[in-house]
Amino acid sequence: MQLTKILIRIDKEYEKLLSEMKISDKRKSHIVGCVEMSFALAQRYDLDPYKAVLAAKFHDYFREVDISEIIELAKNLNVTISDFELRFPRVLHGKVAATYFSANGYIEDSEILEAIEHHTLGEAGVGNLSKLLFIVDAIEKFRIYDGVEALRTEIEGKSLDEAYILVLKRTIIDMIRKNKILAPATIGAYNYMMEVGL
Ligand SMILES: [Fe+2]
Ligand SMILES: [Fe+2]
């Protein structure tokens, strides 16, 4: 299926969700970048392009709502909040979105929900769609940071697991360089990949 056809289908099926999505122009570009790259990588790694595009389209649904609103939503949806998430509540936007979509019957597919939930930090033992969205979120064409070009080039020709590990590594190294606290989920994801091996 072509990307334009997928997008037309999503516009029709998710009209209400899309009309209620509050995102800035900058974020809109990021979503476009994610959608395009998800579609391309789904083909490269033989994953369902519709699912990949749908996950990309809605992964940042709550990215720009106020922190207080995210926490309120999390409480109302009975989302379990870890110590790390309590300290950095912005990272909850994926988990809250996945739970919101599921609780309201908008999205039921467990792979899509898992990908949306873990797109920011990664997670040990997640499936291929989640790995794809984690990679895409970090290196889509509108992302700008030191080393992003090199990372994009580096994943060319790599398997999905190899690419996922490369992005996890960069995330961890970058956090260390900036003297930031490492997210346990990201370390867990990296350790898991090291343990299962390639
Ligand atoms: Fe996000
Ligand atoms: Fe994102």
- Higher local confidence (pLDDT), 196 or 97: 97
pLDDT given at position 198: 61
Question: Residue 57 is encoded by which pair of tokens?
Answer: 């389209």
pTM of the predicted structure, to 2 decimals: 0.96
pLDDT given at position 120: 97
Measured CA distances, 134 to 114, 115, 121, 140, 191 (Å): 11, 8, 8, 10, 16
Distance 16 CA to ligand 2 centre (A): 21
Distance 61 CA to ligand 1 centre (A): 8
Mean pLDDT over each residue of the chain, to the nearest integer: 96
Distance 159 CA to ligand 1 centre (A): 23
Distance 85 CA to ligand 2 centre (A): 17
Round to whole Å and give the CA distance between 117 and 60: 10
State the ligand closest to the CA atom of 34: 2
Distance 139 CA to ligand 1 centre (A): 12
User: What ranges do the domains of the chain cover?
Assistant: 3-196
State the ligand closest to the CA atom of 138: 2
Which whole number is the average pLDDT over 135-162?
Answer: 96
Distance 1 CA to ligand 1 centre (A): 26
Measured CA distances, 166 to 8, 21, 66, 79, 184 (Å): 33, 31, 32, 30, 17
Q: Are 23 and 59 in contact (CB under 8 A)?
A: no
pLDDT band of residue 133 (cuts 50, 70, 90) is very high
Distance 64 CA to ligand 1 centre (A): 9
CATH number among 1.10.10.60, 1.10.580.10, 1.10.3210.10, 1.10.3720.10, domain 3-196 = 1.10.3210.10
State the ligand closest to the CA atom of 57: 2
Which has the closest alpha carbon to 139: 119, 112, 157? 119
pLDDT given at position 196: 87
What digits encode the pLDDT tens for the residues 15-74? 999 999 989 988 999 999 999 999 999 999 999 999 999 999 999 999 999 999 999 999
